[in-house]
Amino acid sequence: MVLKPLKSPESITVAITGRCNLSCKYCFYADEMVALQDLPTKSWLDFFSEAKEAGVMKITLSGGEVFVRKDIFELIHGIVENKMRFNILTNGTLITERA
């Protein structure tokens, strides 16, 4: 039997924050993430670059609520700059005409 090398996933989902602007009683995620701190912007930008080099083509940003991060548009730019597609999982309550 010949073993083939593992391929990188084409798509990944990353939780960029554990923070959320809501306190939903049914949320399974809040208790697990509340004590963790967000990674700095540079760490995520470096990660996106490494993901691209590994062959990742699409990144889904999730949380908590991704729009609580003040650097969310910088993170999105980092994904686009690495020529990858992105999706955002959001509760939608922080989306305005400006954002």
Could you read off the pLDDT of 49-78 as tens digits, one per residue?
999 999 999 999 998 899 999 999 999 999
Cα(62)–Cα(69) distance, integer angstroms = 11
Q: How far apart are CA 99 and CA 24, in angstroms?
A: 23
pLDDT tens digits, one per residue of 20-51:
999 888 887 766 776 779 999 999 999 999 99
Backbone conformation region of residue 82, classed left if phi is above 0, alpha if psi is from -120 to 50, else beta: alpha
Give the global pTM. 0.87
